[in-house]
Amino acid sequence: MFGLGDKNSSNSLVMNTAHPDSLLDKGAQDVIGKPISRIDGPLKVSGHAAYAAEYGLANVAYGFLVGSTVGKGKITELHAEVAREVPGVIDVVVDYKTFLRNSQQGGEKKAPTQGVENVDYVGEPVAIVIAETYEAARDAAERVRLAVEYQEQEGRYSFNAYREEAKKPPYNNIPSHYDQGDVEKALAEAPVTLDRTYTTPSQNSAAMEPHASIASWDDDGRLTLYASLQMLSSDRQQLADALGLKLDKVRLVARYVGGGFGSKLGIAPESVAAAIAAKKLGRPVKVVMARQQVFEATVRRSNTEQRIRLGANADGTLTAIAHETICSNLPGEGYFEPAGQSTHFMYGGKNRLITHDLVELDWMLSGSMRAPGEAVGMLALETAMDELAETLGMDPIELRRRNDPDKDPEKNVPYSSRMLTQCMDKGAELFGWSERREALGDRRGDWFHGIGMAGAGRSNILMKSAAKVTVDGQGHAIVETDMTDIGTGTYTILAQIAAEMLGLPIEDVTVHLGDTDAPPGAGSGGSWGATSSGSSVYLACEALQKQIADKMGVEVGAMTLKDGRVIAENRSVPLAELVGDGINATGQVAPGLQAKLTTQASYGAHFAEVAVNAITGETRVVRMLGVFAAGRILNEKTARSQCLGGMTFGIGAALTEEVVHDPRNGKVVNHDLAEYHVPVNADVPALEVHFLDERDVHANPIHAKGIGELGICGAGAAIANAINNAVGVRMRDYPLTLDKLLDQLPPV
Amino acid sequence: MHWTINGQRYEAEPDIRTTLLDLAREHLGLTGSKKGCDHGQCGSCTMLVNGRRINSCLSLAVMHQDDEITTIEGLGQPDNLHPMQAAFVSHDGYQCGYCTPGQICSAVGMLDEVKKGFPSWVSDDLSSPSLNDQEIGERMSGNLCRCAAYPNIVDAIAEVAGLSEDQRQTSQKVSG
């Protein structure tokens, strides 16, 4: 497994077989899993962590994007001259062919769709104004925006008007259509059936840091782009492809990223515009998207329409599951919202139909947002399960327990690890589930209270990822990878893994992230970051352990590493002394057969109590509790925060978040944070998070599974089910706002 | 033009339309204050001006030449953190960190408002409000956190305010 050298080595692992023993369980440092505060914390809380737009390059010019004013058409005249009336304007850069029509999807190696002469959505960036100051660039860009002439064309702006034209898209991570057994026959024969349609609106990731790029070219024609991105390795490929550059001519830097939630998986239009303008001007150009541009011209989560049909025996055993979904995207974009993703493996049932169809619309691009698929798919599935339980007169936990399969119901392979029922049982006990009453049975003053629950499941993914770890002459470790930390805690958990493996205090580990000059990491997305990047650090450290053992003249297993000392055979030698000038190793992990031989996912259970106002119909979340099993928890503090974040996204999806498209031109009407309602502090009560002890030996050598998106999966459905328990009203059109409820409340 | 920020005098000649936020970020190298919306909707840009918290993106730089301005950089430094900054670290009151400087400046300003007797929408007693978790949540709702560290932010602020568990849980009524 090792390619051993004296000073450096590499260690790679393809997950073809289970990895029953993890060296993390043998470490003596005892830092793994501990709720250590983020090592990047002091920089963040003091304002010293530099985000994309905060690199102080000399002689930087400011760029401001010009967005289209029409939904569909062709530019006939772009009056750049109006910009010159504004003092301080340097240039208006127009490159119809090269500019990006839209952002790229995550992990793609090619440029996203290019070409902006033909406009496909309102806000499509068609030009960029460059000025000496931000104020001049913004002012001139607005003048240019209103001076572009278009030959307008008829567009498709209404989902309902075109939903009949939905087509089957190509495979995209999961098959768009899946059919097993005979669903229609099973439904016809089932003693109990349910047939419901749920809808979810477009949503926006709304990361607090807007998309931003500073482009700077050196004399050798190499571009450095300081940007706010999640997956640097593939983003670099996309940018190089878009600009026609060799890969080694592009360097991306993203040491701190102010949130992503999917919206920064691929490069966005400002990156190429900044690069082209900087090249043309011969000086660095900084482009920060305005919040409105983030809403209009990056990426949305698609709206969905989801029909769920369930067939069950009288004892609740599912005989049929049909989950048929429709979503929307720009013409030519194959990405579909995989809303049925977790329906494939959550529950048993012999006859199954899971489909995804796509409607072409002239709305902005749709793509991945936190837990693509499950986040909205489980709003439907987990509400449907609650409705079925109600129909059966059965406790919703009991219904799920009876349909918790012992192997994957489609692939006929075992689950790598699965603690869904344990999560539900633990949650029920902690939350006080047994005190649940009938609808309208718990009124306190003007408020009806109710409680609800939902299951959570999120696919676990391993991605190819590499990291280099060095132990320097002082006995300190340095971790290097182009992996990112978008708030997920990457800096800290990678330090914990290295500290545990090398027997170092956490203070003696330095982590450098977010620079493509370092080995290519997995990037942040799909909840794979900690497990993939963490495994690469683990593997590098495993190779270092071997080197250290060789220097000590002992077998690896006979050696203890702790507090910077190497202890074996009654000797205790400082690591610094042993390594001389320093040693290093590279670790690389890649997915293998285990991904096919087992079905891998993280699981959980959500419990929510809501209060619904008897007079206004307003819903408030009173308390929420989640129990999660995601393999080894690498840092209890940052993992808990990930779950808090996911659950809060669930509150938003259930109650407030909706991107509204103008039916006349597709424009995002509510394109800012005053009109697109993300949960605020007062919307979020004290949330409780609990973890079950679990190890997943099939997932990776660190035995952890993804957790970044698990908290959102099912969270909103628990709230919907709690509303139903409070007032006996089932709303199926998210978000569940008071206007959809008011006329169904009991008379005041 | 000149400004006094974190006790230090700065001079610059920005565009007359430059906001206090852009002055700090683009002209003075003080990038701790963040721009999340530029419309006073997210609170990432919160600074303390003469002790009061404001959205610095909604205020022109030229208006503040005679004011005492405090940004996150003035509250504390990485090796010398303000108690509120330290509490945000220990309670994990952030994730990506982008809204964090605004949250912290806002929290410091908010505690001072409570001390001075400013009531809020959820105050039981308008003449002499007391702090609890619900008050903290209400008073901090001008600072969005998409990573949603809200429960941890409330924990951090409650600790700095010295609230007991009983004090934190007072007045936990459902409120519209």
- What is the predicted ipTM? 0.98
Residue B128: which pLDDT band, with cuts at 50, 70 and 90? confident
Establish whether domains B2-74 and B83-169 are of one fold. Answer: no
pLDDT at A637 over 60: yes
Q: What is the pLDDT of residue B172?
A: 56
Residue B170: which pLDDT band, with cuts at 50, 70 and 90? confident
A198-221 pLDDT tens trace? 999 999 999 999 999 999 999 999
Average pLDDT over residues A265-277: 98
pLDDT at A7 over 70: no
A536-558 pLDDT tens trace? 999 999 999 999 999 999 999 99
Mean pLDDT across chain A: 97
Task: Mutation target for A interface from B34, B98, B122, B135: give the one with most A CBs within 10 A.
Answer: B98
Proportion of chain A above pLDDT 90, given as a percent: 98
For residue B100, give the amino acid letter: T
Grouping H, G, I as helix, E, B as strand and the rest as coil, residue A346 is coil
Mean pLDDT across chain B: 96
Burial class (CB in 10 A: 0-12, 13-18, 19+), B112: middle
Q: Write out chain B residues lying below 8 Å of A685, CB-based.
A: 151
Cα distances (Å, whole numbers) of residue A414 to A114, A244, A349, A595, A605: 43, 46, 16, 11, 21
SS3 content of chain B, % helix, strand, coil (to 5): 40, 15, 50
Please, what CATH class does the domain formed by A2-30+473-587 belong to? alpha beta
Average pLDDT over residues A178-187: 98
Contact B175 A488 (CB under 8 A): no
SS3 content of chain A, % helix, strand, coil (to 5): 30, 30, 45
Residue B171: which pLDDT band, with cuts at 50, 70 and 90? low
Average pLDDT over residues A274-280: 98
Q: What's the rounded Cα separation, in Å, for the pair A383 and A721?
A: 6
In which element (H, E) is residue A343 found?
A: none
- Among the ranges given (A4-13, A545-554, A570-579), the one the predictor scored with the smallest mean pLDDT: A4-13
Q: Please give the model's pTM, rounded to 2 decimal places.
A: 0.97
Q: Compare CB distances from A41 to B30, B32, B89 and report the shortest one's residue.
A: B89
Give strand ranges (E) for A169-312. Answer: 177-180, 192-200, 212-217, 223-227, 250-253, 285-288, 304-312
Q: Compare CB distances from A46 to B17, B77, B133 and report the shortest one's residue.
A: B77
Average pLDDT over residues A18-23: 98
Contact B77 A48 (CB under 8 A): yes
Average pLDDT over residues A442-456: 97
Q: Which residues of A142-165 are buried (b: 16+ CB within 10 A; e: fewer)?
A: bbbbebbebeeeebbbbbeeeeee
Q: What's the rounded Cα separation, in Å, for the pair A621 and A612?
A: 9
Average pLDDT over residues A264-286: 98
Q: What's the rounded Cα separation, in Å, for the pair A604 and A309?
A: 23
Q: What's the rounded Cα separation, in Å, for the pair A394 and A261?
A: 36
Residues of A known to be catalytic = 709
Please, what CATH class does the domain formed by B2-74 belong to? alpha beta
Sequence spans of domains, chain B: 2-74, 83-169
Closest chain A CA to residue B122: A682
Q: What is the pLDDT of residue A6?
A: 45
Distance (Å) from the alpha carbon of B66 to chain A's nearest alpha carbon = 23
Residue A174: closest CA among A337, A361, A299, A371:
A337
Q: What's the rounded Cα separation, in Å, for the pair A194 and B69?
A: 61
Grouping H, G, I as helix, E, B as strand and the rest as coil, residue A630 is coil
A487-497 pLDDT tens trace? 999 999 999 99
Q: Which residues contact A349 (CB under 8 A, 6 or more apart)?
A: A311, A318, A319, A320, A321, A403, A409
pLDDT at B175 over 70: no
Task: Indicate the fold that domain A52-154+211-288 takes in CATH.
Answer: Aldehyde Oxidoreductase; domain 4 (3.30.365)
Pairing type for strands A601-613 and A619-629 reads antiparallel
Average pLDDT over residues A521-525: 98
Average pLDDT over residues B41-69: 98
A238-249 pLDDT tens trace? 999 999 999 999
Q: What's the rounded Cα separation, in Å, for the pair A689 and A311?
A: 33
A8 or A371, which is more confident? A371
Closest chain A CA to residue B24: A54
Q: What is the pLDDT of residue A8?
A: 58
Q: What is the pLDDT of residue A3?
A: 39
pLDDT at A512 over 80: yes
Sequence spans of domains, chain A: 2-30+473-587, 52-154+211-288, 368-461+597-741
Q: What is the dihedral of CA A573, A574, A580, A581, to 10 degrees?
A: 170
A299-335 pLDDT tens trace? 999 999 999 999 999 999 999 999 999 999 999 998 9
pLDDT at B89 over 70: yes
Q: What is the pLDDT of residue A173?
A: 86
Query: For domain B83-169, which CATH number applies: 3.40.710.10, 3.30.930.10, 1.10.150.120, 2.40.128.20?
Result: 1.10.150.120
Proportion of chain A above pLDDT 70, given as a percent: 99
Please, what CATH class does the domain formed by A368-461+597-741 belong to? alpha beta
In which element (H, E) is residue A47 found?
A: none
